[in-house]
Amino acid sequence: MSVAVYEAIRQRHSIRAYLDKPVARETIEAILDTARWAPSGVNTQPWQVCVVQGDTKRQLGDTIIKARDSSQKENPDYQYYPREWVSPYKDRRKACGLALYQALDIGREDRDKQKAAWYRNYRFFDAPVGLLFLIDARLEKGSWLDMGMFIQNVMIAAKGLGLDTCPQASLAEYPDIVRQQLDLPTDLQVVCGMALGYADPDHPINQYRLERLAVDEFTRWYK
């Protein structure tokens, strides 16, 4: 494996604070031009992408936050998380949340700060670029696997160019708002969003890390 590719994979992690530094359109195009070489079943290439910046990105975030503040019910196009959490996934989820709030010095009972931290999701964590990944509603689970490989390619390509990312299921909570704001057809499902930009190296939220299982903990070997 190329050392550069290996390091990009190892160094990639979700960044939730960004510098106020623009990303050139040519750089975004280069990332997507690399990502498009992801594999897909019978070359279906099911991925579609919206790039949002400036006023469009702001308005999208404001509209979703307004919906949440008015208690509008989420209506995602698909079920991302399990309907019932069980171990070990429940334990990992709890550890993830605790690490994030500890990095931000947010107490377990500080609902206002927790809410403010969550709402930053809808502003793409103030990254200069937001990406939204879409898929044709007529496609099935196999194409969603292909989409995942494409999204991973986006993150690794970005890292290779010195940028960082954060994939965000939260941007798929209100797909009707996304479709309305971006004038998209109703048969395009919203898979997720992604923040893209230059990481703020000094922000506390970018300092914490989560542990990953060792290879032997998730692998079965057969001869």
Q: Is the pLDDT of residue 4 over 90?
A: no
Tell me what the mean pLDDT of segment 2-9 comes to: 84
> 198 with 164: CB under 8 angstroms?
yes
Q: Is the pLDDT of residue 1 over 80?
A: no
Cα–Cα distance for residue pair 215/220, rounded to 1 Å: 9
Question: Each residue of 67-120: pLDDT tens digit?
Answer: 999 999 999 999 999 999 999 999 999 999 999 999 999 988 889 999 999 999
Closest CA to 47 of 158, 165, 146: 146
Pick the CATH number of 15-210 from 3.40.980.10, 3.20.20.60, 1.10.1660.10, 3.40.109.10: 3.40.109.10
Query: Which residues of the chain form beta strands (DSSP E)?
Result: 48-52, 129-136, 164-168, 188-197
Closest CA to 162 of 118, 216, 202, 199: 199
